A and B are shown apart, each in its own frame.
Chain A
Amino acid sequence: MNEINIKFLEDSFKKYYFNHFELIPIPQRTPEREFGFQKFNSSFFNRHISLKDGKELRLLFMQNTPSDVYCSNAYYAFPNSPMNEKDWKEADLIFDIDAKDLDLPCRPNHTVSICNQCSEITKNNNQCTKCNSNKLEKKSLPCKTCMNASKVEVKKLTEILINDLGIEKENIQIYFSGNEGFHVYVFNSQFQKLGSKERSELVDYIMFRGAIPETFGMKKFKPNRSSFPDFNQNGWNGRFSKQVFGSKSKRSKIISELLENGYSSFQKTLEHVSEEIGVKIDPNVTMDIHRIFRLPGSINSKSGLTKLLCTDITKFDPYNDACFLNDEPVEVLATCPVEFKLKNKKFGPFLNEKISIPTYAAAYLICKKLATIA
């Protein structure tokens, strides 16, 4: 990214942090957290930083004009020591739901490819149309379908967290990640002290992975009808029933079919069911107990949007509600073959055009490498 673009983004981000610092909730037990940040055009990751309080956090923003700021979900005795000397105490449970992992059919329609060799920008391709290189960087633009599908996953997840895992609703916080998904935080739960292996088991539970036929009533030898789950049961048994039987009237008939098809066919049914009702979370994120996560309230440099707390997930519109950069017009040279919507305003497609657009839209395109300051 060239200097002018960086200067533009740094200035816009700085203004946001100056005017909206109240959107950054000071993390609980700040001195026990590890913080980190990155700057524009630098691959160096500043981490292992410890901060005393909100004042020091504010100073970090003001002194460094970071592109991205991170904070650990873990609590340490010595957060600024190297990883193996930090003395890990516990960690909040965090789930990452990202639209890119949902395999949605709309995806190719709003993805653009940027060639790493010749910088040609085209609508979703696997090979550059100009130089034939297959080293392409993909960038996805906002799409309502993607966000709605992500919201469905968030709702599935919170239902399991509350009903199955006994987590109090007040201890769950849902954040828009600032790009294409959501981060779900769980505080003060019985899982705080669990290590990576145990968290990985929780992940498998939530994703409905590793289920055996016996758990859902199918036995290898002498299977019988009475052991199959029913609609009114709690947990996966109930959810399995709703998915597989559909309605109460069909239950008996479908059980007969399952019995007839046998054990190994049932295993396939389980795999299929897992795809449908398992929650699509990123397993690696939840099992990592030393990770640093984008700081709530900070801007995501992949988009210029804010990682924001969602109080009402159904009504939440990330491309309106999390768009806080100002609307001063800026002239940019843009190549964006896909249309997008921010703050209820449509933009694009732009084909190597010099245009004047609001700061938030310019920042969005520059962050996605689809425009430069003219």
Chain B
Amino acid sequence: MLVLGQDEKAKYPFLADAGEYLKDKGFSLTQFGSDPVLKLSVEKALHRIKVAAAGEVYKSDLIDGQASKDYVLEREVFSFLLAIVLIKLTGMSTLVKRFALAEARRAENYLEKDLGNASNKSKIDLATRIIYDLFNIEIIKENDFFVMPVSDYLKHSVTFHEREWKLINRHVENGKVFLTPDKTVRLIRKELGNYISSKITNAPKPSMIPGLEKIVDELITISKKLTPTYTITTGEYPPCIKHAIDVLEKGENLPHSGRFMLATFLLSRGQTVQQIAPLFKNAPDYNSRVTLYQLNHLAGTSGSATTYACPSCEKLKTQDLCFITKECDNIINPSQFGKKRK
């Protein structure tokens, strides 16, 4: 378990044990609803959530990661813990997600600074310890870079869609990947968000604290305005799918990866195995029994019951199956083609 100093608790408040922290400081939750001095922390918590809901990153009162006064530092931690309490009281999952993401990005800034702080070994050590304790990645500083085993890098980088994160675009040597401090931290952003989000989700829901009802109501109203948008689909197929259908219609050979793409795409558009199977009739090696077996497997109706998803545009590019047009409009998966947010 990490032993954190006061500064670190303010920078990485999600590492602190909420209940224990309050107890240590001699406070109970109910005091925050009535005590006018403590109410300042509540206001700060509210601000912190509002900033996150707006998609921004909350700016602390810390200067260079240091608190000027002890009470500033305390308020930093309190406001984080109270924000969690308030979000739990609203019961709105949208707020959990937004808050976790914003807090992850805030922590990311500090981690990046700590890792990049060549003159302060203890800060680097702490940041690397946090990354190890939370995500089980062992990183070592080597000159200006942080190195980690290729396998650890891959476990995290596969969730990125940008080409820059492909292993080929990293310096790799002797089983290790070399990263700058910002990329090292960026690699774990999603997990950091998940970690904070799970901390909030797993925290017990407190009963309503008298004096905080209004604030909770205000947050519920904000959250409702953020309710997810709905999408409409034009129904048109993306160019990669059109191309695959063309190839099959001409009786030419579509590689296995192309067939996989086509089938998973059409399944995702709600077509049935029986509707899709005839498409493959012209393939030079067509066998109806094998086709049905494979389609049922992809649909998850036989075999492992896993439903296979359509590969990402990035993957299709590397398989020479992408025929991008401007209508693709920056989508990252063919199944998003033609969907417009309203």
Interface residues of A (CB under 8 A from B): 83-84, 134-135, 163-167, 190-191, 193-194, 197-198, 200-202, 204-205, 208-212, 214-215, 234-237, 284
A193–B315 Cα gap in the complex (Å)?
A: 22
- Cβ of B173 within 8 Å of any chain A Cβ, yes or no, is yes
Q: Which residue of A lies closest to B306 (CB)?
A: A84
Which of the 9-residue segments B96-104, B119-127, B160-168, B181-189 touches chain A?
B160-168
- Cβ of B172 within 8 Å of any chain A Cβ, yes or no, is yes
| Contact indicator A210/B151 (Cβ below 8 Å) | no
A171–B164 Cα gap in the complex (Å)?
A: 30
Give me 19 A-to-B residue pairs in the complex whose CB atoms sit less than 8 angstroms apart, sorted by A's number: A84-B306, A164-B173, A165-B172, A167-B175, A190-B149, A190-B151, A191-B151, A201-B154, A202-B150, A204-B167, A204-B318, A205-B166, A205-B167, A210-B166, A210-B314, A214-B164, A234-B173, A235-B173, A236-B172
Q: Which residues of B contact A135 (CB under 8 A)?
A: 284
| Contact indicator B172/A235 (Cβ below 8 Å) | yes
| Contact indicator A166/B175 (Cβ below 8 Å) | yes
- Cβ of B171 within 8 Å of any chain A Cβ, yes or no, is yes
Q: Which residues of A contact B172 (CB under 8 A)?
A: 164-165, 205, 235-236
Total residues of chain B contacting the partner, CB 8 A: 31
Q: Which residue of B lies closest to A200 (CB)?
A: B315
Q: Which residues of B contact A208 (CB under 8 A)?
A: 168
**Residues of B116-158 whose CB lies within 8 A of A:** 149-151, 154-155, 157-158
Q: Which residue of B lies closest to A196 (CB)?
A: B158
Q: Which 10 A-B pairs have the closest CB atoms?
A: A166-B175, A84-B304, A198-B154, A205-B167, A190-B151, A215-B169, A166-B174, A210-B166, A209-B318, A197-B158
- Cβ of B256 within 8 Å of any chain A Cβ, yes or no, is yes
Within the complex, what minimum Cβ distance (angstroms) separates B297 from chain A?
Answer: 10
Within the complex, what minimum Cβ distance (angstroms) separates B265 from chain A?
Answer: 19
Q: Which residues of A contact B164 (CB under 8 A)?
A: 212, 214
Cβ 8 A contact of A237, one of B166, B171, B317: B171
Within the complex, what minimum Cβ distance (angstroms) separates B301 from chain A?
Answer: 13
Within the complex, what minimum Cβ distance (angstroms) separates A188 from chain B?
Answer: 13
Within the complex, what minimum Cβ distance (angstroms) separates A184 from chain B?
Answer: 17
Q: Which residue of A lies closest to B171 (CB)?
A: A235
- Cβ of B305 within 8 Å of any chain A Cβ, yes or no, is yes
- Cβ of B303 within 8 Å of any chain A Cβ, yes or no, is yes
Q: Which residues of B contact A197 (CB under 8 A)?
A: 158
Within the complex, what minimum Cβ distance (angstroms) separates B320 from chain A?
Answer: 10
Within the complex, what minimum Cβ distance (angstroms) separates A332 from chain B?
Answer: 29
| Contact indicator B174/A236 (Cβ below 8 Å) | no
**What would 18 more interface pairs be, CB under 8 Å, given A167-B175, A198-B155, A201-B154?**
A83-B304, A164-B173, A166-B150, A194-B151, A202-B150, A202-B154, A205-B167, A205-B168, A208-B168, A210-B163, A210-B169, A210-B317, A211-B168, A212-B169, A214-B164, A234-B173, A237-B171, A284-B257
Q: Which residue of B lies closest to A234 (CB)?
A: B173
Contact A201/B158 with A165-B150, A284-B256 known, Cβ cut-off 8 Å: yes
Q: Which residues of B contact A210 (CB under 8 A)?
A: 163, 166, 168-169, 314, 317-318
A89–B149 Cα gap in the complex (Å)?
A: 20
A205–B317 Cα gap in the complex (Å)?
A: 14
Q: Which residue of A lies closest to B170 (CB)?
A: A215
Within the complex, what minimum Cβ distance (angstroms) separates B161 from chain A?
Answer: 12
| Contact indicator B154/A84 (Cβ below 8 Å) | no
A191–B175 Cα gap in the complex (Å)?
A: 10
| Contact indicator B163/A212 (Cβ below 8 Å) | yes
A164–B306 Cα gap in the complex (Å)?
A: 34
A210–B165 Cα gap in the complex (Å)?
A: 10
- Cβ of B113 within 8 Å of any chain A Cβ, yes or no, is no
| Contact indicator A201/B174 (Cβ below 8 Å) | no
A284–B256 Cα gap in the complex (Å)?
A: 9
| Contact indicator B303/A211 (Cβ below 8 Å) | no
| Contact indicator A201/B151 (Cβ below 8 Å) | no
A163–B169 Cα gap in the complex (Å)?
A: 17
Within the complex, what minimum Cβ distance (angstroms) separates B2 from chain A?
Answer: 26
Q: Which residues of B contact A214 (CB under 8 A)?
A: 164, 169
Q: Which residues of A contact B305 (CB under 8 A)?
A: 84
Q: Which residue of B lies closest to A209 (CB)?
A: B318
A159–B175 Cα gap in the complex (Å)?
A: 12
| Contact indicator A163/B173 (Cβ below 8 Å) | yes
| Contact indicator A215/B168 (Cβ below 8 Å) | yes
Q: Which residues of B contact A234 (CB under 8 A)?
A: 173
Q: Which residues of B contact A237 (CB under 8 A)?
A: 171
Within the complex, what minimum Cβ distance (angstroms) separates A324 from chain B?
Answer: 32
A211–B176 Cα gap in the complex (Å)?
A: 18
A204–B163 Cα gap in the complex (Å)?
A: 11
Q: Which residue of A lies closest to B159 (CB)?
A: A197
| Contact indicator B173/A211 (Cβ below 8 Å) | no
| Contact indicator B169/A201 (Cβ below 8 Å) | no
A84–B256 Cα gap in the complex (Å)?
A: 22
Within the complex, what minimum Cβ distance (angstroms) separates A192 from chain B?
Answer: 8
Q: Which residues of A contact B314 (CB under 8 A)?
A: 210
Q: Which residues of A contact B169 (CB under 8 A)?
A: 210-212, 214-215
Q: Which residues of A contact B284 (CB under 8 A)?
A: 134-135
B302-336 near A? 1/0 per residue, CB < 8 Å: 01111000000011011000000000000000000
Q: Which residues of A contact B304 (CB under 8 A)?
A: 83-84
Q: Which residues of A contact B176 (CB under 8 A)?
A: 166
| Contact indicator B167/A202 (Cβ below 8 Å) | yes
Q: Which residues of B contact A190 (CB under 8 A)?
A: 149-151, 175
A209–B315 Cα gap in the complex (Å)?
A: 10
Within the complex, what minimum Cβ distance (angstroms) separates A243 from chain B?
Answer: 15
| Contact indicator A165/B175 (Cβ below 8 Å) | yes
A166–B167 Cα gap in the complex (Å)?
A: 15
B57-90 near A? 1/0 per residue, CB < 8 Å: 0000000000000000000000000000000000
| Contact indicator A194/B155 (Cβ below 8 Å) | yes
Cβ 8 A contact of A194, one of B154, B256, B257: B154
